[in-house]
Structure 1
Amino acid sequence: MRLVLVPSRYRKNSSVSVLHSCILRLRWVQEWTLLCAPARSKYRLNQIFLRDHIVWWFTLDLAMKKKTILVTAASRGLGFSVAQSLVKEGATVIICSRTEKSLQEAVESLGPSSKYVIADVSKPEDILTLVEQVSDSTSHLDGLFVNAGGPPPGEFSDISDSEWRESFELTLMSAVRLTREFLPLLKKSKDASILYSTSISVKQPIPNLLLSNALRPAVIGMMRTLADEIGPDGIRVNAICPGYIQTDRVTQLFEASTDSSLKANLISQIPLGRIGSPNEFGAVCTFLLSPIASYIHGALLLVDGGLYRGMM
């Protein structure tokens, strides 16, 4: 993210329409307007404002350099987008997933400040292996992004006992075990943070996702309780609830539906009028894991384009 100072006389100039993505506009004194634009706009901003006498720009530092963060289920999808964002901010990232090939491809893309461990977070023995290998590579852990693949779609009459048990292990017990086993490493950090990836289903049920609707709220209950229990140790805990983000899983949900107009109908319900991008999700997670968010604790943050309309 970059803050850019431009003369106020250029603020309404059509040549700066690129700044439609600005997330903050503040008047500074009388002559200047302070604009905050995504870092990806750097080249275009240079091109426009060097011609219009740009004064300067500077970078907002999230203080993630020298931080070590574990991101689970991160070889693709939302976990990978979080790992990408963390690496861009200078963090060292450890990722895990079930498949070595996909992990190798992910680490190759992320670069030298990343490493991987093969682990299925739904299996207790794999989590113990993960803890052992992470402990061998670092003396402490500054952040833990708790993420797992979502439970399968289905309605009540379609779901067997075995599917309930498997989803319980994947959705709730993976979060329980990861938290319990990594707390000793997190306590060795000066400003550790745990962030649970859940779903908008904790706020309102999603059709055809009964398992998610039933099990994910339990993670929120645990997070809220942990805020009291481990907050005094200096460890922050929060949860993030993505709405519809353009991942393989969301594509799968659309394809599994017998309603061909499902996607269009869904987008019509989102005030921003679109599905979110993985990069948008990753950026918010990086902020919550960073020391900049040092007083955000026990919070539940929606990243859903305004889809959820409840007051609480």
Structure 2
Amino acid sequence: MDLQLRGKTALVTGGTRGIGRAIVEAFASEGANVAFCARDAAEIAETEAALADSGVKVEGAVLDMGDADGVAAWVDSVAGRFGGLDAVVSNVSALAIPDTAENWEASLRVDLMGTVRLMQAAIPQVRRSDSPSLVAISSVSGREVDFASGPYGTVKSALIAYMAGLAFQLADAGIRANTVSPGNTYFDGGVWQGIESGSPEMFTESLALNPTGRMGTPQEVADVVVFVSSPRASRMTGANVLVDGGLSRGIQF
């Protein structure tokens, strides 16, 4: 299937590791130019180098998504240099799971307000696109109660509500807004690899909840994100798409 992304411009936050890196690679493989951000300059340079021969423009920037002025300036700069924006993906998370005051602050500042600031900056730019899409990465922890309830899960729930609101508010402008909620996703350097080594009992218990018998991969999530962002998903807006291998049990109406 041609996702009709060739020549489009995608913007991805947190694009050097895990799901974010896979999203950047998936957009590039579909012929889209990609701008991404992260906080580590060395990881940004490595990602750019890895995609240097992809045949598209891939450019990273050092950015803290808690910096409101920095986020707005980056979005405007990317739109200017790339000739506009078509698909925006908010992926960055503070991954602040334990229930502490510091983690509530980090989750609200980075996960929630980072997404809000990104969308506020991007909406005027994507209005000029003929296939505008906004996507936020939430989590199954935002849909049901689990070990990550607290700052992480609560803010992930808020992201689903926020994006659904944008979908309604922007529908008449042709701008689609959706959420993608991954289940447990395993990759080198990720949360679940850390739990596997640091809390093997919890890892085993969590793995047993997966009816597929395994955790997901970043690529499996990225493929869904890129499809939802593409013109081929033109009738999809206001949705929360689960990519969890059947981990969650609730029925969505």
Could you tell me the TM-score, scaled by structure 1's length? 0.76
Alignment of 1:167-178 (within 5 A): 167-178=107-118
Change in CA separation of 1:208 and 1:231 when aligned onto 2, cut-off 3 Å? closer
Asked if 2 retains the 8 angstrom alpha-carbon contact of 1:93 and 1:115, the reply is yes
- In the alignment, which residue of structure 1 is the partner of 2:159? 219
Asked if 1 retains the 8 angstrom alpha-carbon contact of 2:10 and 2:33, the reply is yes
Letter in 2 for 1:221: A
State the shift of 1:185 in Å: 0.8
CA distances 1:174-232 after superposition (whole Å, capped 9, x unpaired): 01100001111100001110111011011112215521112111111111111111111
Match for residue 251 of structure 1 among 185, 188, 193: 193
- In the alignment, which residue of structure 2 is the partner of 1:280? 220
Match for residue 7 of structure 2 among 66, 73, 82: 66
Determine what percentage of the aligned residue pairs are the same residue: 28
Match for residue 228 of structure 1 among 160, 168, 187: 168
Match for residue 89 of structure 2 among 115, 139, 145: 145
Q: Which moved more, 1:89-98 or 1:132-141?
A: 132-141
Q: Which runs of 4+ in 1 moved over 4 A?
A: none
- In the alignment, which residue of structure 2 is the partner of 1:120? 64
- In the alignment, which residue of structure 2 is the partner of 1:35? none
Larger radius of gyration: 1
- In the alignment, which residue of structure 2 is the partner of 1:135? 79
Distance of 1:229 and 1:74 partners within structure 2: 28
Distance of 2:90 and 2:71 partners within structure 1: 12
Q: Specify the SS of the correspondent of 1:306.
A: coil
Distance of 2:197 and 2:144 partners within structure 1: 22
User: What is the total number of aligned residue pairs between the two structures?
Assistant: 247
Distance of 1:282 and 1:75 partners within structure 2: 13
State the shift of 1:256 in Å: 4.4
State the shift of 1:163 in Å: 3.0
Asked if 2 retains the 8 angstrom alpha-carbon contact of 1:118 and 1:130, the reply is no
Q: Specify the SS of the correspondent of 1:252.
A: helix
Distance of 1:128 and 1:195 partners within structure 2: 17
Q: Specify the SS of the correspondent of 1:261.
A: helix
Distance of 1:190 and 1:139 partners within structure 2: 13
Unaligned runs of 5+ in 2: none
Unaligned runs of 5+ in 1: 1-59
Aligned-residue Cα RMSD (Å) equals 1.5
